[in-house]
Each structure stands twice: as C-alpha cells, then as structure tokens.
Amino acid sequence: MHDAFMPLVVIGGSARAFAVSAARAGRRVYAADLFDDLDLRATAAATACVRDLAGGYPTGLVAAARSFPAAAFCFLGALENHPDVIRAIARDRPLLGSPPASLACVRDPWSLQRLVQDAGLASPECHADPRGLPRDGSFLAKPMAGAGGRGIAPWETATPKPPHATVWQRRIVGTAWSASYIVSAAGSRLLGASRQLLGLPWCHARPFAYCGSIDEPLAGLPAAVRRQFTALGAALAGCGLRGAVGADAVVDAAGVVWVVEVNPRPCASMELIERATGESIAAAHLAACGAEPAPTPTASTAPPRWAKAVLYAPHAIAVDAAWLARVAAWQGLWSAAGHPAIADIPAAGRTIPAGGPVCTLFAAADTAAAAVDQLRERTMAVSASISRPGGAAWPPAGNRSSIP
C-alpha cells in the first residue's frame, strides 16, 4: 500500500479536475497550469501559474515541475501536442501516463486512421492538402496540434487557409460523444461515456469549441455503440498508451461510431464519471501506470445524471472580490453530495480575455434533460453577473489565457 501522502506533480493546460481527484485519493498534489485558480490552490500543497514563468506555456512547465519536490508526474491537456516538454520533465522524474513515444500513434491523423480502421471501426476521410476538396462545409479544417475544439472551422469558400499545420477531415453528421478508458499493459477498460456540448451560445462558446459534457451511464448505451467503443479501447492498449485516455467520436444516425480524435491523458469529461460512480479517476490512472494497487471497484445504483458546462467570457472581464462573493453564494446554494457546483474559479485581480474560460458549472438530476436544464439556468445566471455595466472599461490586470 502506498504512503497516503505520497506526492504527485500534475501539469498541463488545466490541472484542477485531476488534482482534486488525486487529492481525494490521498495524494499530496503539486500542480502547474495556465490558470492557478482558487480551487486548485485550495487543493494542492503548492501551485504555479505557467504564464508567470520564463518561456510561458508550455516550456515554462519544465521550470514549474523542477520547483516542486521530487515526485512522479502526470500530464494533462493539451501537453500531448508537446512531447518534447514531456520528455524534458521525464528526464528529472518518473512519468505516470502515456510515454511520449506512443503519442504519435494517436495524435498523427493518418496513424490514428490506420489504427481505427485496423480495429474494424469507422474513421473520417483526412487530407493534408485542401486542393481539390469541395469548399461547401463538408470538410473541417482542424489544427494538427489542437485541443478542446479550438481553431476548427468548416472548409467553405470564404474560409482562409489556416496559418498553422492543418488536417482537412470530412465532417460527419451525428451526435458528438466522448469515451473514457483506463489503459494498462493488461488491456483497456471502458470507464464511461458522455455526450459533448459544443459551441453553445449560452456558454458564449465559439463554434466547435468544447463547452461541457453530459454523463451517459454505460448500462444505458446502445449495445452496438458500446461494442464499438470497447473495440477502440483494445486498439489503444496495443499502441502503448497508459492510464486514463479519452476518445472523441461522432455517432451517426445508423449507430456507427466515427472516431475523430484520441486524447492520450485524463480528459475534461472524466470528472463526471467520478461524480456519478464514485470511482477515483486519479487512482485508476495511477494503478494502470503501476504506481499503486488497483482501487476497489465501486458499485453504483441509479446515480443521478451529471452535466457540466464551461462558461466563456463574451468580453474582457476583470475578476474582483464582489463577483467572487456572488460565486461563493451560488456555491452554497447549488452544491450537493459533497461536490462543488462551480469550479475553476479565477483569483481576484485576473483579467479574463474575451473568449477565455470564466469557470465551470455542474448540475445533477434524475434525467439528462433535467440536468442540462438546471445547468443552463446556472450558467445563464453566472453569465448575467459578468455583463459589462454601461459599457465601462475594465481595469487592467493579469491575463487568463485559453489552453493553446
């Protein structure tokens, strides 16, 4: 049995969700990310904001990790796009997660396409060059090193060619899903699934941007969809990934799962699984990486349906004590079952730029529709609180960036 206070370093664009899970599992957490939010500070023994360090994101994470005590580390989104940073940190301390050598297997679109098709699953058509492709929106231009849906645009007549490395992927019509896995040397386990919320106006999200999830109990998944998700997990285990891994897919009207992306690390939707089932995502991740014994399976009987939403800033917002007091009041009214209803709360004195994440909100109910209705009401209430009064200018303060 591991020391109940064994330290763990958690780094990435946003560390709060996994850090909370690890702390609940008995780890002493040290964390560095882009935001250094109040709830991350309350959870971790020490934190660092990578934007305040030389090099910024992501290279500043190397210095941030070196500032923490000797301990193994886990990486989060979107560091899979920066394997050199992962390698640099891994020279100083053990990595608990997918090794850099395995990342290209799923982050290169054509490698992923081969992996998916070899597993007998569907993968959208991909192109490295748009010449000859129709400019009618039937293809999407996607950054090669993207995360969270940022930078995705329909390939249409008026769409300029992107300045960054891009893949043109055929657009699949259907429902956006995420599948969550625990992958070890022994194989993979389908941990859960969720429907994605993308580009919602009431979250002030840009088109295609991830803005939340609705947890879907595995017992309720259509059998054919579950079989396809399970087959994908077996393929992921075969290419060397380890720990918590997420896959984004579109399920079409015929029930075919089209795999569009794999994220080889703990993902945003996974904390809903932990809330719904009680299973620690961090404990399962660490066990799959050989860092501690496998956790005891948890039993769940008719859990509530959990949903989350990320609220984005419609304009620049200066965070002050008065607004944080309102958040604290909502927190007291809305939180239940030992879980906060609002997370990723920025510190006073920060400025959130237009389009940056403000906070994350949660809701739970007996049905998915009721949970989303409650979530929308809460999100719109918080959104109303950040409306700029009278068009007045906000005072300057430190920036709060989106994850690149």
Checking DSSP bridges between strand 28-33 and strand 73-75, what pairing results, if any? Answer: unpaired
pLDDT greater than 80 at residue 2: no
The predicted pLDDT at position 1 comes to 34
Q: Summarize the confidence of residues 142-159 as an average pLDDT.
A: 89
Q: Summarize the confidence of residues 121-139 as an average pLDDT.
A: 96
Q: Summarize the confidence of residues 117-135 as an average pLDDT.
A: 96
pLDDT greater than 90 at residue 378: yes
d(CA 130, CA 128): 7
Q: What tokens appear for 311 in the block?
A: 């609220």
- Report the percentage of the chain scoring pLDDT > 70: 93
pLDDT greater than 90 at residue 105: yes
Nearest to 208, CA basis, from 233, 253, 172: 172
Q: How far is CA 302 from CA 213, 242, 373, in A?
A: 19, 30, 20
Place of tokens 């200018």: 393
Least confident interval from 189-198, 204-213, 271-280, 301-310: 301-310
The predicted pLDDT at position 300 comes to 58
pLDDT greater than 60 at residue 339: yes
Element (H, E) at 336: none
14, 77 contact by CB (below 8 A)? yes
Q: Classify residue 159 by burial, with Cβ atoms within 10 Å: 0-12, 13-18, 19+.
A: middle
Beta partners for residue 364, in sequence order: 306
Q: Summarize the confidence of residues 23-38 as an average pLDDT.
A: 97
7, 69 contact by CB (below 8 A)? yes
Q: Report the length, in residues, of the chain.
A: 404
- Other Cβ atoms closer than 10 A to 359: 22
Beta partners for residue 172, in sequence order: none
Domains and CATH numbers, the chain: 7-95 (3.40.50.20), 173-303 (3.30.470.20), 305-399 (no CATH)
Question: DSSP letter at 205?
Answer: P
Give me the chain's average pLDDT, please.
92
How far is residue 263 CA from its own chain's centroid?
Answer: 9
Beta partners for residue 193, in sequence order: 179, 216
Q: How confident is the model at residue 323 (pLDDT cuts 50, 70, 90)?
A: very high
Q: Summarize the confidence of residues 70-91 as an average pLDDT.
A: 96
Q: Summarize the confidence of residues 1-18 as an average pLDDT.
A: 84
Beta partners for residue 262, in sequence order: 247
pLDDT greater than 50 at residue 87: yes
The predicted pLDDT at position 395 comes to 35
The predicted pLDDT at position 145 comes to 83
pTM to 2 decimal places: 0.92
Torsions phi, psi for 73 (to 5 deg): -130, 155
- Report the percentage of the chain scoring pLDDT > 90: 85
d(CA 233, CA 227): 10
191, 243 contact by CB (below 8 A)? no
Q: How confident is the model at residue 396 (pLDDT cuts 50, 70, 90)?
A: very low
pLDDT greater than 60 at residue 389: no
The predicted pLDDT at position 392 comes to 42
Q: How confident is the model at residue 303 (pLDDT cuts 50, 70, 90)?
A: low
247, 262 contact by CB (below 8 A)? yes
DSSP 267-290: -TTHHHHHHHH---HHHHHHHHTT
